[in-house]
Amino acid sequence: MSMRRILATAGMIVALATSATAAQFKNIASPQAKALLDRGTVFLLDVRTPEEFRQAHLKGAVLIPIDQIEKRLDEVPKNRPVLVYCAVGSRSNAVAGFLVEKGFRDVYNMKDGIVGWYRNNLPVTH
């Protein structure tokens, strides 16, 4: 990854994290996220890098890396609950706040990320 891309991503994280402080969304742990996903109507958004996604991801997840979320926002449906996750909950927290600011009403952040999901012995796709 180039230094320019790293700096751009870091800037995006800071901007999204700053905007997330005023937004309201629900922080849930992986067991609650699993129950939510079992309902079948949730849009599952993975905001990690393509490399992380290739290593492991949740079944049915749509990958939109955090540095692409603004450009690809129209790919996220507003008429369904959205569950956002990353590795440990930091990037997803920022994106969840951003989505709420953009008018998404039913947004969840998986606060323990895929690491918590895995630690709870929940299934991942490789």
Domains of the chain: 3-119 (3.40.250.10)
27: Cβ–Cβ under 8 A, 6 or more apart, which residues? 89, 93, 108, 109, 111
Helix axes 90-101, 3-20, angle to 10 degrees: 60
Q: What is the pTM of this model?
A: 0.82
Please tell me the distance from the alpha carbon of residue 35 to that of residue 48, in angstroms, as a whole number.
22
pLDDT at position 20 is 46
Please give the positions annotated as active site.
86
3-state secondary structure of 83: strand
What residues does 44 pair with on adjacent strands?
Answer: 83
Local structure of 119: helix, strand or coil: helix
Q: Which parts of the chain have pLDDT scores under 70?
A: 1-23
